[in-house]
Amino acid sequence: MKKNLLITATLVLFLFNSCGHRVSDAIAITVYTDSIVSDVSKHPVGINLNFIMDGGRFPEAKKNVTEAVKELGTKYLRYPGGEKSDLYLFSIPPYEESHTSLARTIGLDDYPGVFKDGEFVYDPLDFDEFMKVCRDAGAEPVLVIAADNYLRKPEKGERVSSREALIKHAAEWVRYANIKKKYNVRYWMIGNESWNKNNENSTVDIYAQDVIDFSKTMKAVDPSILVIPNGDSDEFFKAIITKAGDYIDRLCVSNYGVFNFNAGYESYKDTTRCLIWPAQTALNAMNKYATPEQLGKWKLIVAEYGTIDWAGLWHGTNDMGHAIVNFDMTGQLLLEPQIEFSCFWNTRWLNNEEQPQTDHDAIDSNGNINPTGYSLLIWNQFMGDKMIKSESKGYIISYASYSPQKDQLFVYLINKGDREENVNIVIPGKVDAKVVQCWEYFGKDDKDLAPVWQQRDVKDKDITLKKYSITVIEYKLTEG
């Protein structure tokens, strides 16, 4: 098969109302297999685990966290999670075993029902248990070390670990993981969202010096590890890169790209949305302030992402609308060649048993996959080695991935609109594209809490995209 192959898939959609009048114009979608955008051969879609919820919290669950992660197909697992990472210690001196402890008792009220008198109510997922999940699921571990909050002033009866104790803990965690246990953990993040107001009494300059000192001590134990600071704004990243750039190996950012959804899902449906502007802010800063040598080895990691609307304009229900937006957000992240991987937030949060569930829980208390979890599962189950250029317009959003060595093409179609679209796929030229399989995920509307995931039989080039749906089609490309 010729390498410079152009496949033009022209989707002609003619929709008629009950009177027989046409209500939709033709839509053309073009997929270019000779235009590679990014390498996704390592399946760079991950998830944040929750050491509080994924241990002994749900002992009667039908599927444990390992089984759920396997079903999701996520190949990067971030642990112990996000902000709670800054209160987590993997062990206590002399650090000879995995024994989960707390770096501080300040702020435990932020986690209602989890702690009582400074102790865990439920058995947490400890570090060795987490590593077993990674190995059983064939996933890469990503660790977040407690580094922030040592500047917070404890009240009477409270305690907080000192800076020196936290640096010592970080070094001992590296030693335990990679020297004693031979886990070969590569990714080590210095704190979580250190720019956040929760990092009381700190500044970007203080954090930059923390990154340097943590990095020096940790790499003295294992020089091969990748040290990763975080940031959010151009100014914050500039300070980290210019002050600590010689001591780091990656950058990370949280990507919550839902912004100005004043009418909820309708704001997304009726406009074209960039859902990765926080990641783009980080990439722009990295490319602006890093030296050529640093750029040659650095990548960006999206430590957290999802459809949470921090402005509260779009209610965060785990429904078909949020699944569609998260699928689109994942696709936009996959198209960025400088992003190494991205981790959805998260498996289960504290209110996991409440109904309806929130959009940021990929699984429920029984380990079943929620709608936003399906938006990850679809990408992970059907992904080629390369993301390639794909053009579309209107209510239909398209992505495509391609494995040249296998002549395998995946086309992903989002119908974010409120009506079905009759699609006729035309692939001209000498190449024959045979449909291998087709799957669809769809809801009655954007608020549907129980969308349907099913395989469908596609025998010809006429395909109807259901309203509020995600469709993936696998093709085998052969010479015509």
Q: Domain residues for 453?
A: 27-36+389-476
Are both 108 and 55 inside the same structural domain? Answer: yes
| Residue 5 pLDDT > 60 | no
> Count of residues for the chain?
480
Question: At residue 428, does pLDDT exceed 80?
Answer: no
Task: Evaluate whether residue 133 is within a structural domain.
Answer: yes
Please state the rounded mean pLDDT for residues 242-271: 96
Same domain, 121 and 174: yes
pLDDT confidence band for 215 (50 / 70 / 90): very high
- pLDDT computed for residue 393 by the predictor: 73
pLDDT confidence bin for 458, thresholds 50/70/90: confident
Q: List pLDDT tens digits, range 33-58.
A: 889 999 999 999 999 999 999 999 99
How does pLDDT run across 148-197, given as a tens digit for each residue? 989 999 989 999 999 999 999 999 999 999 999 999 999 999 999 999 98
pTM above 0.85, yes or no: yes
Res 281 pLDDT > 70: yes
Does the residue 440 lie in any domain?
A: yes
pLDDT of residue 19: 28
| Domain end marker among 337, 366, 383 | 383
Residues 372 and 421 in one domain: no
Question: Which residue, of 336, 363, 383, is where some domain finishes?
Answer: 383
Mean pLDDT (whole number) for 305-319: 96
Q: Tell me if 290 is assigned to some domain.
A: yes
pLDDT of amino acid 172: 98
Domain total for the chain? 2
Residue range 98-127, pLDDT digits in tens? 999 999 999 999 999 999 998 999 999 999
**Tens of pLDDT, residues 320-330:** 999 999 999 99
pLDDT at 373: 98
Asked if residue 316 belongs to a domain, the reply is: yes
Closest by Cα among 391, 292, 289, 279 to 338 = 279
Give 421's strand partners. 465
Sequence-distant (≥ 6) Cβ neighbours of residue 183 within 8 angstroms: 131, 141, 177
Better-predicted residue by pLDDT, 102 or 392: 102
Pairing assessment for the beta strands 76-79 and 462-465 based on DSSP bridges? unpaired
- Judge whether 12 lies within some domain: no
If asked whether residues 307 and 448 sit together in one domain, one would say no
Q: Is the pLDDT of residue 412 over 90?
A: yes
Residues 337 and 430 in one domain: no
pLDDT at 479: 65
19-33, 190-204, 452-466 — which one is most confidently predicted on average? 190-204
Task: List the one residue out of 369, 365, 366 whose CA is nearest residue 344.
Answer: 369
Q: Would you place residue 267 in the very low, low, confident or very high pLDDT band (cuts 50, 70, 90)?
A: very high
Residue 342 within any structural domain of the chain:
yes
The pLDDT mean for the chain works out to: 91
Q: Which of 317, 440, 329, 323 is nearest to 371 (CA)?
A: 323
Q: What is the pLDDT of residue 6?
A: 42
Same domain? For 372 and 296 the reply is yes
| Same domain? 81 vs 229 | yes
**Higher local confidence (pLDDT), 239 or 463:** 239
Contact 464, 419 (CB under 8 A): no
What pLDDT is recorded for position 395?
A: 85
The confidence score (pLDDT) of residue 163 equals 97
Residue 351, pLDDT > 80, answer yes
Give the per-residue pLDDT at 363. 98
Range in 169-178, 261-270, 414-423 with the lowest mean pLDDT:
414-423
Whole-number pLDDT of residue 92: 96
What phi, psi does 87 have (nearest 5°)? -115, 10
To the nearest whole percent, how much of the chain has pLDDT over 90?
82
Judgement on whether residues 169 and 239 belong to the same structural domain of the protein:
yes
- Whether residues 302 and 449 share a domain: the answer is no
Does residue 20 belong to any structural domain of this protein? no
Residues 460 and 364 in one domain: no
Give 450's pLDDT tier (boundaries 50, 70, 90): very high
Residue 22 has what pLDDT? Answer: 37
Structural domain ending residue among the three candidates 383, 398, 429: 383
Do 77 and 211 belong to one domain? yes
* Residue 142 confidence (pLDDT): 98
Q: b/e for 238-275, b at 16 or more Cβ within 10 A?
A: ebbbebbbebbbbbbbbbbbbbebeebbebbbeeebeb
- CATH classification of the domain holding 286: 3.20.20.80
Residue 417: CATH number of its domain: 2.60.40.1180
- Is the pLDDT at 461 greater than 70? The verdict is no
Q: Is residue 1 part of a domain?
A: no
The pLDDT assigned to 480 comes to 57
Q: Are residues 49 and 31 in the same domain?
A: no
The pLDDT value given to residue 372: 98
